[in-house]
Amino acid sequence: MNGTADGGHATDTAPQGAAALLAAQRAAERATANLLGRQDADGWWKGDLETNVTMDAEDLLLREFLGVRDEHTTQAAARFIRRRQGADGAWATFHGGPGDLSATVEAYVALRLAGDAPDAEHMARAAAWVRRNGGIAAARVFTRIWLALFGWWRWEDLPELPPELIYLPSWFPLNIYDFGCWARQTIVPLTVVSAKRPVRPGPFTLDELHTDPVEPSPPRPQAPPATWDGVFQRLDRALHAYRRVAPRPLRKAALRSCARWIIERQESDGAWGGIQPPAVYSVIALHLLGYGLDHPVLKAGLESLDRFAVWSDGTGTAVGTVATAAPAADTGGPADPDGGHADGPVRMIEACQSPVWDTCLATIALVDAGVPADHPQLVRAADWLLAEQVLTTGDWSVRRPGLAPGGWAFEFHNDNYPDTDDTAEVVLALRRVAHPDPARVDAAVERAVRWLAGMQSKNGAWGAFDVDNTSMLPNKLPFCDFGEVIDPPSADVTAHVVEMLAGEKLGHDPHARRGVAWLLAEQEAAGGWFGRWGVNYVYGTGSAVPALVAAGLPPSHPAIRRAVTWLESVQNEDGGWGEDLRSYPDPQWIARGDSTASQTGWALLALLAAGEHDSAAVERGVAWLVRTQLPDGSWDEPQFTGTGFPWDFSINYHLYRLVFPLTALGRYLSATAGREPAAGDGREA
């Protein structure tokens, strides 16, 4: 499964010399044709963004809570959920991963809403698995909040989250801007839910999911008083006591302020931050504050949630989605108990959508693969990207009040939360296109570079959404057990910004040099870099090495040589690279996993940047891509190679399996162009 110390040996006989180059060229041509064919008429690309069944379960629970759940939607969602159940009865949060307690509880409840009987074989297996793993009491706080909405858990047994939190100034510990933007957008509406403690009794009980139905919520162990856990446990007890004596005028004012904060951040498409979870909780919060379902704010919010749904006909054919990419592939699990894989439509909920990210990555891949820079589809993509630049201020301006805007967001509509990662990659993409209005591109890039320079954290690196979002206190809150809640600088984001600055001939600018120094200090002893937004060390290293070389480090630099040696040492025996998400909690999994197209692409990008185009490792990696390519020019990749929160929330970007292999093949062919004769110029399509 994982590479040996010397990188192993290919088990298949691969073409050599001119034949190998021609095979790589043909693979790039097929991938190019596939990718060009996926572009939307408006100029963007978007692959499905697959996460886990909690998105689908919580969507049904929301509709049940609001009284708008319909049978057609419910059954389509249930088909998707059933097909993701593992043989042990549990649901994992990524392909091939272990069962997850909270995901299993939420999936089980959703299937109960869909009418699945608790004594059905697949349900009994799920319930038994939940009990063996601690029951509902051991599930995360977010899961128990959902259950509390229906009377399946006591509000008194949940951490207190007062709406008065909205009044803490930005310099005070644990103010809302100490949280990452995704957590902030979720926590503010949940303070309303916590204050209201609504209960709309569910249509059934969940006794079968408790280890002890008589005492479903056993006392939790108390942490030593001198520890942070002990401090925050005492703080939570104090907040529960405060709830009983909170001045009513202050609480009412806080709830109004929360409502105003939420409404001010609703995007033009009705969603919040382009992300499904904050949208769900914002709708619930505003509804509890008296906003009817026909109110324009809630009506737009509910309509936006429908746009997170990807429908297919049960056989893999899309029947209703804003994306042009194919719907999520079936990753295994049992078929529906009542009839195979074609018994009705299937509905998957995306946590968010990634058109800006996918479009800039697709543009880079196509140009690097030899598509002419003035190709009409590339110009159309650049036009769409230029129109998406965010020219208004958002929450980032709390820490950078004088900074002019100029970034790009990840999603279709998200003016409040542009991010540095997308902004850097968009600039890299725009500079690859021969746009008919270069002055327009120059102006957009100038705004972006200025904004990115201003978003540098004091340690010289870049976080994704905010500056110096590094306080560890939010992670200590009893409420925050759902994943990463802060946005510290990361190697992959910093590398992308450094690479962009170098491309703008700013490699010697103090901002870039500080970024380079930070990256060099962050390299781990083995030679790799931690990957925050992609899995994991293969992603971090695949980002850092090209950036450092672009910024002026020679391939002979010790840091580059250590990275090359490490990548060669972890190459799989089949010639590819792979890394399982378990590498986040368990170092033994670092760079171990089945070979994937996206991770092989990342490793090749690093090796090629380091000048290794003639190495055996690169030739074997390219041969693996050629050998595993599907007839349509894409690659099969059920593995999850993206992250929302490392380990806690994993993502399968369905376009990664195409854009990163194509980028690697294109750069390989460019690096070897003069070595062997080849038929064709690699620019078909």
pLDDT per position as a tens digit, 583-637: 999 999 999 999 999 999 999 999 999 999 999 999 999 999 999 999 999 999 9
| 379, 675 Cβ separation under 8 angstroms | no
Q: Is 162 left (phi over 0), alpha (psi -120 to 50) or beta?
A: beta
Q: What is the pLDDT of residues 47-72, one digit of tens each?
A: 999 999 999 999 999 999 999 999 99
Rounded CA-CA distance 532/490 in Å is 6
Helix (H, G, I), strand (E, B) or coil at 91: strand
Q: For residue 318, is pLDDT > 60?
A: no
Residue 18 pLDDT level (bands cut at 50, 70, 90): confident
Does 50-212+246-349 match 17-47+354-671 at the fold level? Answer: yes
In the chain, % of residues over pLDDT 70 = 92
Task: Report the distance separating Cα 12 and Cα 306, nearest Å.
Answer: 46
Q: What phi and psi values does residue 601 have, to the nearest 5 degrees?
A: -60, -45
Structure tokens at 525: 């002893």
Q: What average pLDDT is seen over the chain? A: 91
Q: What is the mean pLDDT of residues 15-34?
A: 92
The residue among 612, 527, 522 whose CA lies nearest residue 570 is 527
Q: How confident is the model at residue 220, as a pLDDT?
A: 78
How many other CB atoms are found less than 10 A from the CB of residue 631? Answer: 6
Instruction: Render pLDDT for 156-202 as a digit per residue (tens, 0 to 9).
Output: 999 999 999 999 999 999 999 999 999 999 999 999 999 999 999 99
- The mean pLDDT of 440-464, rounded to a whole number, is 98
For the segment 655-668, the average pLDDT, to the nearest whole number, is 98
Give me the residue spans of the domains in the chain: 17-47+354-671, 50-212+246-349
CA atoms within a 13 Å half-sphere pointing along the CA-CB vector of 427? 28
What is the pLDDT, as a whole number, of residue 684? Answer: 34
Residues 355-392: pLDDT tens digits? 999 999 999 999 999 999 999 999 999 999 999 999 99
Burial of 131 (0-12, 13-18, 19+ CB in 10 A): middle
Q: If you average pLDDT over residues 31-38, what whole number do you get?
A: 98
Can you give the pLDDT at residue 215? 86
Secondary structure, 3-state, 370-396: CCCCCCHHHHHHHHHHHHCCCCCCCHH
Long-range contacts of 562-565 (CB under 8 A, 24+ apart): 562/523, 562/526, 562/527, 563/523, 563/527, 563/528, 563/529, 563/606, 563/610, 564/527, 564/606, 564/607, 564/610, 564/612, 565/527
Share of the chain above pLDDT 90, in %: 84
Average pLDDT over residues 3-29: 68
Positive or negative torsion for Cα 352, 357, 358, 359: positive
Q: How deeply is 241 buried, as exposed, middle or buried, from its count of CB atoms within 10 A (0-12, 13-18, 19+)?
A: exposed
CA 421, chain centre distance (Å) = 12
- Rounded Cα distance between 670 and 675, Å, is 10
Q: For the residues 278-307, what does the mean pLDDT come to?
A: 95
- Read off the pTM: 0.92
> What is the model's pLDDT at position 321?
42
Over residues 99-141, the pLDDT tens digits come to: 999 999 999 999 999 999 999 999 999 999 999 999 999 999 9
**Token pair 């009284």 is at which residue?**
67
Q: Over 80: is that where the pLDDT of 12 sits?
A: no
> Looking at the domain 50-212+246-349, which fold is it?
Glycosyltransferase (1.50.10)
526-549: buried (b, 16+ CB within 10 Å) or exposed (e) per residue? bbbbbbbbbbbbbbbbbbbbbbbb
User: At residue 447, does pLDDT exceed 90?
Assistant: yes
Of 48, 56, 59, 421, the catalytic one is: 421
- How far apart are the C-alpha atoms of 572 and 625, rounded to whole Å? 13
In this predicted structure, the answer to whether residue 323 has a pLDDT above a threshold of 60 is: no
Query: Any idea which residue has 């047994």 for tokens?
Result: 157
Backbone angles phi, psi at 352, to 5 degrees: -160, -175
Residue 328 has pLDDT above 50, yes or no: no
Contact 622, 604 (CB under 8 A): yes
| CATH number of this structure's domain 17-47+354-671, picked from the four choices 2.60.260.20, 3.40.50.2000, 1.50.10.20, 1.10.10.10 | 1.50.10.20
636 is catalytic: no
> Which residue(s) pair with 310 in the sheet?
348
Residue 675 confidence (pLDDT): 56
Contacts of 460 (CB under 8 A, 6+ apart): 514, 515, 517, 518
Q: Alpha carbon of 62 to those of 151, 192, 404, 461: distances in Å?
A: 14, 16, 38, 39
